[in-house]
């Protein structure tokens, strides 16, 4: 509430004017509200903005138009943690093996977004995304491309990193005109075999790594575009305020169980850190280099159509979604039913989330996990 400062001749008139001024305002708090009868001290005036901000957080109101978002905002997470050299630059998407025989992975704990989607035999593969292309770590084990992964990565204008491809989809991938960094043909020293893994008896396909620490020099030497496309310079998602942590408008949720077919993913809420800790097949999923369990502020489960298209077991996955496609948003101890979509036949479009009224969903700032899976194979507790 803004009050005009009125200079009065005496303290009596000052008191009368103060009372009259408060009584004449519209849309006031009720008269019995303690804040309405407190004296206008400096302490009270400083407390009012904090009370309003707290109410805004509880209601999940939109970010205030005048809120200043830092220039180094990570467009994938909404968190201000980009290095100066990464502001306005493209993110990186890396295909990562996600089977028991390849555990533990490394380099994945630093990912800002992880997509998990079924591949052959209903095992899953990760697409780990990094918003700061100058800070990509070494990542292992790197695996081959499946067409529906770049269908999502293109919406972020990301560099796409993989080792091997599904040959039957080569024409489709060429048509995407994406900047692909591929382990079989790349001669830039970005890929290699982890000798320690080889010595430990890992199968060859679980030993390939991508050295993200060399990415910047490689892109510069090749003259590859690093600036984001003009239509991708804003945040990837609609985020809540910089200091907000909003609970989704649904039920309480401290546990998520996802069944992909041949393996599972579980998430348990850590209320103190406000993140969901990931397990794979009931075992904590740990980054082999950092020793930390994968943790996410936001967990999305997007239900879609998945079918087998050949004898090898390669899959067709509907990556477009639409108003009739159900999803779930989990964050801050709650779960909310949503819908999800990309523009039809437009891989370059953003992935969007909507509430059940059709309004674009606002999400909390932080790392996100996104499962794209069969329908009706998730449980929330």
Residues 257, 215 share a domain: no
Cα separation, 153 vs 178, in Å, equals 9
Beta-sheet pairing, 124-130 with 113-118: antiparallel
What is the tally of structural domains in the chain?
A: 2
pLDDT band at 65 (very low <50, low <70, confident <90, very high): low
Strand partners, 354: 339, 360
Which pLDDT belongs to residue 167?
81
Please identify, among 232, 262, 278, the residue that sits at the C-terminal boundary of a domain: 232
Residues 169, 114 share a domain: yes
Please state, for a pLDDT cut of 70, what percent of the chain lies above it. 83
Asked if residue 271 belongs to a domain, the reply is yes
Asked if residue 96 belongs to a domain, the reply is yes
Residues 155, 121 share a domain: yes
Please identify, among 176, 204, 232, the residue that sits at the C-terminal boundary of a domain: 232
Residues 355, 261 share a domain: yes
Contacts of 31 (CB under 8 A, 6+ apart): 37
The domain in which residue 286 lies consists of 251-380
Which pLDDT belongs to residue 11?
39
Residues 262, 313 share a domain: yes
Token pair belonging to 117: 């989607």
Beta-sheet pairing, 378-380 with 124-130: unpaired
C-alpha 83: how far from chain center: 18
Token pair belonging to 153: 């990565």
Asked if residue 79 belongs to a domain, the reply is no
Residues 305, 201 share a domain: no
Question: What average pLDDT score do residues 68-80 get?
Answer: 96
pLDDT digits 0-9 by tens, 255-278: 999 999 999 999 999 999 999 999
Contacts of 239 (CB under 8 A, 6+ apart): 63, 78, 362, 363, 364, 365
DSSP 280: E
CB 86, CB 133: distance < 8 Å: yes
- Using the structure block, give the residue that is written with the tokens 């996802």: 258
Residue 142 in this model has a pLDDT that exceeds 90: yes
More confident residue, 40 or 203: 203
Token pair belonging to 186: 């790349």
More confident residue, 22 or 330: 330
Asked if residue 7 belongs to a domain, the reply is no
Asked if residue 187 belongs to a domain, the reply is yes
Question: What average pLDDT score do residues 48-58 get?
Answer: 37
Residues 202, 255 share a domain: no
CATH, residue 327: 3.50.90.10
Residues 299, 268 share a domain: yes
């Amino acid at each position: 509430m803004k009050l005009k400062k009125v200079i009065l001749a005496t303290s009596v008139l000052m008191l009368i004017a103060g009372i009259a001024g408060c009584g004449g305002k519209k849309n006031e708090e009720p008269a019995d509200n303690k804040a309405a009868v407190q004296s206008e001290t400096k302490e009270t005036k400083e407390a009012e903005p904090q009370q309003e901000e707290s109410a805004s957080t509880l209601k999940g109101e939109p970010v205030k138009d005048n809120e200043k978002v830092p220039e180094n905002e990570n467009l994938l997470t909404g968190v201000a943690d980009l290095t100066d050299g990464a502001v306005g630059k493209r993110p990186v998407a890396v295909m990562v093996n996600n089977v028991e025989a390849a555990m533990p992975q490394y380099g994945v704990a630093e990912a800002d977004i992880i997509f998990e989607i079924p591949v052959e035999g209903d095992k899953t593969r990760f697409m780990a995304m990094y918003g700061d292309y100058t800070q990509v770590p070494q990542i292992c084990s790197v695996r081959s491309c499946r067409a529906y992964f770049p269908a999502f990565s293109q919406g972020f204008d990301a560099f796409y990193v993989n080792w091997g491809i599904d040959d039957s989809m080569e024409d489709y991938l060429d048509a995407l005109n994406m900047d692909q960094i591929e382990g079989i043909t790349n001669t830039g020293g970005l890929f290699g075999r982890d000798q320690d893994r080889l010595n430990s008896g890992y199968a060859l396909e679980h030993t390939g790594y991508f050295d993200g620490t060399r990415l910047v020099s490689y892109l510069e030497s090749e003259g590859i575009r690093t600036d984001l496309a003009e239509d991708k310079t804003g945040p990837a998602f609609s985020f809540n305020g910089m200091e907000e942590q909003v609970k989704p408008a649904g039920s309480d949720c401290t546990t998520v169980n996802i069944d992909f077919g041949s393996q599972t993913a579980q998430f348990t809420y850590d209320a103190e850190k406000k993140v969901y800790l990931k397990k794979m097949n009931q075992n904590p999923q740990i980054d082999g280099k950092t020793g930390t369990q994968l943790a996410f502020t936001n967990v999305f489960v997007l239900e879609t159509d998945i079918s087998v298209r050949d004898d090898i077991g390669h899959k067709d996955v509907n990556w477009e979604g639409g108003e009739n496609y159900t999803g779930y948003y989990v964050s801050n101890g709650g779960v909310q039913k949503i819908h999800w979509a990309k523009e039809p036949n437009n891989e370059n479009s953003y992935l969007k989330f909507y509430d059940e009224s059709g309004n674009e969903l606002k999400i909390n700032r932080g790392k996100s996990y996104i499962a794209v899976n069969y329908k009706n194979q998730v449980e929330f507790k």
